[in-house]
Amino acid sequence: MSGTTTLVWFRRDLRLSDNPALTAAVADSDHVVAVYVHAPEEEIPWSPGAATRWWLHHSLTALDAALRRKGVALTLRRGPTLPTLIALARAAGASKVVWNRLYDPATVARDTAVKTGLRDLGFECESYNANLLHEPWEIRTGQGGPYRVFTPFWRACQMRLDVQPAPLPAPRRLHGPSQPIDSLALDELDLLPKIPWDAAFSQHWSPGERGAHQRLEEFCGEWLGRYDEGRNRPDLPASSRLSPHLHFGEISPRQCLVAARNAIVEQPAAAKSADSFIREIGWREFAYHLLHHYPHTPEQPLDERFERFPWVESPALLRAWQQGRTGYPIVDAGLRELWTTGFMHNRVRMIVASLLTKNLQQPWLAGARWFWDTLVDADLAANTLGWQWTAGCGADAAPFFRIFNPVLQAERYDPARVYIRRWLPELTQLPDKWIHRPWEAPAEVLAQAGVTLGHTYPRPIVELPASRDAALAAYATIREPVAPART
């Protein structure tokens, strides 16, 4: 093959625009080979869950179609990654391999080994930042250490937001290798579930770069101005729902930032809401900052006192929670939304996580693992932050004693009872007054609504004030820090 060839190793950067590795490959070489290597065993113990595998299948389909429109096909291979990349680079006559960085502990270790292995054989390698506004190590406290509190972290980030480079355009044309390269068929990666529990996912999502930009455009046009007041409302489509697209790198945070800022030019009244939206992107940055500096936290609490927390560990309670059978309508609605769509609203995530870790005293990791398997946006950094924050054992965590009351939360954030009725058809006929607390409804009201507690809908799995007291008593046993050992 004449001319230089670069191999672009796609991972969670499944887009053509604002993709620095792809742009560099096109600028530096005559031919480009685009490859995705499937190697879930290299991400153990956090290999992709079932819902993200569904997303990945469709996102790879979309990426392949987008690449073909530019002139090359996506080559699919199975791992292990290093020997696969070496064989492919040799077959394609490539002298260079480029990729965009990932930050999970297992992938960092794998990527470091890949870089060393390729360089030892004389291949050039380069990696880039495509998925964060700032590298997790770039933002430092005055003392040079990592942040553990969001507000000062975000203040430090904001000082650097104006110097963000403009998003890169997609390459106009790609020139593939002159010899055809073998590829697996997508179905051979076996990403789709055997039991079709994902049947409704495609009604809710359009994986791929095009779907991501459509969603961003719709959000900025219709909801950005109301984000501040609407983002806590699970009954409204008021948040962006960009999280799975961001997780798979179908869109970059920089593109979201620019779109939100451009929207303000046309709708100046949206400025405050746009700031709130950008701040949420900041929480994503914070999650990656924490994962980088505290790589043990996907399994262990950041607050070490919680190593001694007396979790109850009941498989029956966990199962009832997973299946949305707790008897607390907002919790059950959230878990059913998750099962049906692969998504749950942020406010409801906090409510269900609080009930599991505090009222039911189940380990936060059990909840994190369930989310990992069922969320289409399951993301190690954000999931770890979300669970540890809610359980009270993470960075900038809600104090443990702030235990969400699912009834009050539901009345406040689902005021028209739309969310509950959407996900719990068996309660639809209950009057607004009782639908968030059916166990308090008079017998004749329940009968008229066709609700039989314990039969058509569960009784509460736990009593709120008593379980709250039990959680606080458990917390009291670990509240004091461990005294340093005497030497």
Ligand X SMILES: Cc1cc2nc3c(=O)[nH]c(=O)nc-3n(C[C@H](O)[C@H](O)[C@H](O)COP(=O)(O)OP(=O)(O)OC[C@H]3O[C@@H](n4cnc5c(N)ncnc54)[C@H](O)[C@@H]3O)c2cc1C
Q: Which residues are catalytic?
A: 280, 283, 311, 346, 364, 387
Asked if residue 338 lies in contact with residue 359, where contact means CB atoms within 8 angstroms, the answer is: no
DSSP annotation of 12 reads S
Q: Is the peptide bond before 80 cis (omega within 30 degrees of 0)?
A: yes
Q: Does 255 bind ligand X (CB under 6 A)?
A: no
Nearer to ligand X, 36 or 371 (CB): 371
Q: Does 88 bind ligand X (CB under 6 A)?
A: no
Q: Does 242 bind ligand X (CB under 6 A)?
A: yes
Choosing from 281, 290, 335, 471, the residue that interacts with ligand X (CB under 6 A) is 281
- Residue 175 CB, shortest distance to ligand X, in Å, is 34
**Which residue's structure tokens are 């500096």?**
293
- Residue 371 CB, shortest distance to ligand X, in Å, is 6
Choosing from 58, 77, 231, 254, the residue that interacts with ligand X (CB under 6 A) is 231
The residues that bridge with 453 in the sheet, in sequence order, are: 457
- The answer for residues whose C-beta is within 8 angstroms of residue 179's C-beta and 6 or more apart is 1, 92
Choosing from 176, 386, 406, 458, the residue that interacts with ligand X (CB under 6 A) is 386
Nearer to ligand X, 384 or 467 (CB): 384
> Where does this chain touch ligand X (CB under 6 A) — which range of 149-157, 279-287, 324-332, 455-463?
279-287
- Which SS3 state, helix, strand or coil, does residue 262 take? helix
Q: Does 385 bind ligand X (CB under 6 A)?
A: yes
Q: Does 52 bind ligand X (CB under 6 A)?
A: no
Task: Please measure the distance between the N-terminal and C-terminal CA atoms of the chain and give it in whole angstroms.
Answer: 68
Tell me which H or E stretch contains 322: helix 315-322
Q: Does 241 bind ligand X (CB under 6 A)?
A: yes
Q: Does 247 bind ligand X (CB under 6 A)?
A: yes
Choosing from 274, 375, 446, 451, the residue that interacts with ligand X (CB under 6 A) is 375
- Residue 219 CB, shortest distance to ligand X, in Å, is 7
DSSP 58-84: HHHHHHHHHHHHHT-PEEEEES-HHHH
Residue nearest to ligand X (CB): 386
- Which SS3 state, helix, strand or coil, does residue 126 take? strand
Choosing from 306, 371, 434, 457, the residue that interacts with ligand X (CB under 6 A) is 371
> Where does this chain touch ligand X (CB under 6 A) — which range of 82-90, 164-172, 173-181, 275-283?
275-283
> Where does this chain touch ligand X (CB under 6 A) — which range of 146-154, 186-194, 236-244, 304-312?
236-244
Q: Count residues contacting ligand X (CB under 6 A)?
A: 28
DSSP annotation of 186 reads G
Q: Does 84 bind ligand X (CB under 6 A)?
A: no
- Residue 212 CB, shortest distance to ligand X, in Å, is 10
Choosing from 197, 283, 311, 439, the residue that interacts with ligand X (CB under 6 A) is 283
Choosing from 34, 98, 236, 353, the residue that interacts with ligand X (CB under 6 A) is 353
CA distance 287 to 62: 28
Asked if residue 174 lies in contact with residue 75, where contact means CB atoms within 8 angstroms, the answer is: no
Instruction: Give the relative orientation of helices 81-92 and 105-120 as an angle to the nearest 10 degrees.
Output: 40
Tokens of 41: 């065993």
CA distance 360 to 468: 9
**Which residue's structure tokens are 């101005």?**
225
CA distance 361 to 304: 17
Q: Does 349 bind ligand X (CB under 6 A)?
A: yes
Neighbour tally for 333: CB within 10 Å: 27
Choosing from 243, 252, 322, 362, the residue that interacts with ligand X (CB under 6 A) is 243
CA distance 263 to 216: 11
Nearer to ligand X, 350 or 446 (CB): 350
**For 159-194, b where at least 16 C-beta lie within 10 A, e where not — what string?**
eeeeeeeebbebbeebbbbeeebebeebeebebeee
- Residue 128 CB, shortest distance to ligand X, in Å, is 20
Choosing from 390, 392, 435, 457, the residue that interacts with ligand X (CB under 6 A) is 390
Choosing from 23, 84, 359, 383, the residue that interacts with ligand X (CB under 6 A) is 383
Q: Does 350 bind ligand X (CB under 6 A)?
A: yes
| Radius of gyration in angstroms for the set of CA atoms belonging to the chain, rounded to a whole number | 24
Contact residues for ligand X (CB under 6 A)? 231, 239-243, 246-247, 280-281, 283-284, 287, 346, 349-350, 353, 371, 375, 377-379, 382-383, 385-387, 390
